[in-house]
Structure 1
């Protein structure tokens, strides 16, 4: 009838989305940290490795660091700023591609041609290439006019290429360089040891690699290059040139259970190391960086990288369980 009003209609409830698997607390806290602080590359790496994200998204993000010469630049490794291709960036890019299972094809062929052009006379890679103009870099990576080849950069690159069964002419002399350096090491430092392990874990001659790893492991323990008990880290002076508190632990050199470096440590030593790694997660969800903070931007960019790597190590040792996939909405904007 006129004047009668229809009762108000209650709007229908929106359909409830399917519940996403809950993330373990450490991973949920790390996720928040990544979305708040990380570069697009680390955001997409995290999504791929821990949220069932798309490998193409990681590949696309990594492609923004690729230069026309086949190398990688643009501060992919945060310690070297500027656009130029550098060996440290190459090692970082190969680690990302290895995690995707995409370390191959024409991209790697072009990269190897680039490595051939920039290698030192002994076929190795320097830490930093001399640049036509100066760009900022960490003080512990000084620029030289004629830099020598270093195991620090050559080892990880050669090891990852061999691990992915890449064959290229550049690898012959670079591999010989790595064998010579690893098998004759008498004095070293923790990061060089880790680079040696990266090479040995990928070297195709497995018997030779096992023998070299056995000798290197004895050297590491005799010289105290790795802190075996994190509780005693404050009692140990860092290696020359390292920042106060900058040490490597068993989990830093044996990043996967199948690494040859795993045999250097007892179950108790590795267990303490992994306990320490898990406990290092900060209240904001990220992991700390112990190397010298030489520039604010570089330091901030490295923490998400350290966070992703810490989570990958913990998961490799069964310390972190993750859902196989987690339906998500759109990736947060850049």
Structure 2
């Protein structure tokens, strides 16, 4: 166990979801996801996760090197950097000089209104998923900005970049009318952590009504008629365009403001569906479009860890 950074734990039942997922992770995952799995489920330490994450860090304070598998190449990108912040948040290391450097990078790539684009310019021909919008002058994007601002607020980070970025998120969320599931999920990531709780609660209530009115959540996994088809949308982590979103995709934990949008039965069906998605090899499927063999292999362990964490957060036994 010393080599995994994990401490000895009681044996996992041989046919439990966790046991099967562990085999899948050791077989297929990048070092970062192996270390994350050990941290979350095998009593592993945070230091090895941080060390593995350092391989993706650049001198400008951002992250690159295909940390998000659909963006290849070494250059720093907002989505890579948001992914890195999510890892640091998961292991309780989202603070200090490291995050100060990240915020300087975020400042350097922000748009005129202080927000982040999903993908910055300067891809220089590096391989990129067809669904990734690469444009010369990328616009501000709630999908990229909302989760990052939420993570920084949740960790009580203070940096000048947050002021205008937070204002952008408030305005973007308040102006949502006709939306798509990924945009709603990004709004939830912001609202779950922003300090002004009454304002966040009021906006979350409105978004919940919007989600139900526009049928943005598949409320019964067994009925295809309930599965919404999302409009074409820019790239972000999560299910691909056209794939249904379920209640657990919006409310990753019971503490999320989005949990109130769904009944007990609706959430139970959603979690049943998520649990049943575990494949024969022990991993969960990815809902990203498969455009290259390597990216699918890299993405599935990430989806597997996220599925296990979601199930466990909602009180489901995983092993």
TM-score using structure 2 length: 0.92
Tell me the equivalent position of 2:59.
Answer: 68
Taking structure 1 as reference, are residues 141 and 113 closer, same or farther at Cα in structure 2, changes over 3 Å only? same
Larger relative contact order (CA 8 Å, sep ≥ 6): 1
Taking structure 1 as reference, are residues 20 and 207 closer, same or farther at Cα in structure 2, changes over 3 Å only? closer
Matches within 5 A, 1:123-138: 123-131=114-122, 133-138=124-129
Check whether the contact 1:162–1:203 (CA below 8 A) recurs between aligned residues: yes
Match of 1:26 among 5, 17, 24: 17
Partner Cα separation in structure 2 for residue 85 and residue 56 of structure 1: 23
**CA displacement at 1:65 relative to structure 2:** 0.5
Tell me the equivalent position of 1:91.
Answer: 82
Judge which range, 210-219 or 231-240, deviates more: 231-240
**CA displacement at 1:240 relative to structure 2:** 2.3
Tell me the equivalent position of 2:187.
Answer: 196
CA RMSD of aligned residues (A): 1.6
Check whether the contact 1:245–1:290 (CA below 8 A) recurs between aligned residues: no
Match of 1:255 among 245, 252, 272: 252
Tell me the equivalent position of 1:12.
Answer: none
Tell me the equivalent position of 1:79.
Answer: 70
Tell me the equivalent position of 1:319.
Answer: 316
Matches within 5 A, 1:89-128: 89-128=80-119
**CA displacement at 1:320 relative to structure 2:** 2.6
Partner Cα separation in structure 2 for residue 196 and residue 72 of structure 1: 23
Partner Cα separation in structure 2 for residue 152 and residue 215 of structure 1: 18
Partner Cα separation in structure 2 for residue 133 and residue 20 of structure 1: 47
Name stretches of at least 5 consecutive residues in structure 2 with no aligned partner: 1-7, 234-239
Q: C-alpha offsets along residues 70-97 of structure 1, whole Å, 9 cap, x if unaligned?
A: 0010010111110111111111111111
Partner Cα separation in structure 1 for residue 221 and residue 228 of structure 2: 13
Match of 1:175 among 146, 166, 173: 166
Taking structure 1 as reference, are residues 47 and 218 closer, same or farther at Cα in structure 2, changes over 3 Å only? same
Partner Cα separation in structure 2 for residue 151 and residue 27 of structure 1: 34
Taking structure 1 as reference, are residues 20 and 50 closer, same or farther at Cα in structure 2, changes over 3 Å only? closer
SS of residue paired to 1:156: helix
Give the ranges of 4+ consecutive aligned residues of structure 1 lying more than 4 Å apart after TM superposition. Answer: 242-245
**CA displacement at 1:22 relative to structure 2:** 2.2
Partner Cα separation in structure 2 for residue 79 and residue 88 of structure 1: 10
Query: Which has the higher Rg, Structure 1 or Structure 2?
Result: 1
TM-score using structure 1 length: 0.88
Taking structure 1 as reference, are residues 237 and 318 closer, same or farther at Cα in structure 2, changes over 3 Å only? closer
Tell me the equivalent position of 1:267.
Answer: 264
Match of 1:280 among 277, 298, 309: 277
**CA displacement at 1:23 relative to structure 2:** 1.3
**CA displacement at 1:132 relative to structure 2:** 5.7
Name stretches of at least 5 consecutive residues in structure 1 with no aligned partner: 1-18, 323-334
Judge which range, 304-313 or 132-141, deviates more: 132-141
SS of residue paired to 1:230: coil
Partner Cα separation in structure 1 for residue 48 and residue 275 of structure 2: 28
**CA displacement at 1:234 relative to structure 2:** 6.2
**CA displacement at 1:247 relative to structure 2:** 1.3
Q: C-alpha offsets along residues 141-192 of structure 1, whole Å, 9 cap, x if unaligned?
A: 1211000000000000000000000010000000000000101100111111
Check whether the contact 1:311–1:320 (CA below 8 A) recurs between aligned residues: no
Partner Cα separation in structure 1 for residue 267 and residue 74 of structure 2: 39
**CA displacement at 1:20 relative to structure 2:** 5.0
Tell me the equivalent position of 1:219.
Answer: 210
